[in-house]
Amino acid sequence: EAQVTQNPRYLITVTGKKLTVTCSQNMNHEYMSWYRQDPGLGLRQIYYSMNVEVTDKGDVPEGYKVSRKEKRNFPLILESPSPNQTSLYFCASSLSSGQATEAFFGQGTRLTVV
């Protein structure tokens, strides 16, 4: 079954404690992306990756890092989480960017930073 898998689904952490949200896709997609969803703001892109070792900033990259060492994985790293990073995070992948290819979304990770 084609899917994007994020872990964990729910996470409560304390300010400053480094964390990683994993994202894995089994569709051999080149393009992967991270979004955050906040009430009243919709979804905003954090980072994206066009292929292995190719990553770039989206609209709201501050406080986040990513890496793309393998095609299937695209982890989101919060080196020093702060309460304003409390949000619902989605990973997405698609065959390529810039075309009408379907973007597959993960189930989401609800992060709370206290």
Nearest of 74, 106, 94 to residue 27 by alpha carbon: 94
Stretch that binds another protein, among 12-20, 43-51, 61-69, 70-78 (CB under 8 A): 43-51
Return the number of the residue (15 or 26) whose C-beta is nearest another protein.
26
CA-nearest of 103, 35, 56 to 66 is 56
CA separation for the pair 71, 28 (Å, rounded): 7
- The binder of another protein chosen from 19, 43, 52, 95 (CB under 8 A): 43
Could you tell me how many residues make up the chain?
Answer: 114
List of residues contacting another protein (CB under 8 A): 4, 33, 35, 40-45, 48, 50, 56, 58-59, 90, 92, 97-100, 102-103, 105-108
